[in-house]
Amino acid sequence: MKKTTTAVLAVLAAIALGSSSLATMDIQKEYKAKDPKANCASCHVAKMPKKEAADLNDFGKTVKGAKDKDGKIDWSKVKVPAPAAS
């Protein structure tokens, strides 16, 4: 019984800690309002990153550094790149 309880608590802790570092749909929507052409590759190295291999590019690292304790992005700390001319 004790091993089961410990295992369940460990899984819950891993989910709680891991989910706070992942990009959320809210963050993506906020950025998409600033840059309509934004996609996963705007912040990540891979076009379609997997949870296990979600390496960030320089812009993604800047956005992650601007994340407050509540998980919200302080966009005033992030220099949003100008959209490319078409």
- pLDDT tens profile 9-49: 666 655 544 444 556 778 888 888 888 888 888 888 888 88
The per-residue pLDDT for 20 is 45
Residue that wins the pLDDT comparison between 60 and 80: 60
Segment 42-63 shows an average pLDDT of 85
- Predicted structure pTM score: 0.61
| pLDDT exceeds 70 at position 69 | yes
CA-wise closest residue to 31 among 59, 2, 3, 1:
59
Please state, rounded to an integer, the average pLDDT across all residues of the chain: 77
**Cα 54 from chain centre:** 9
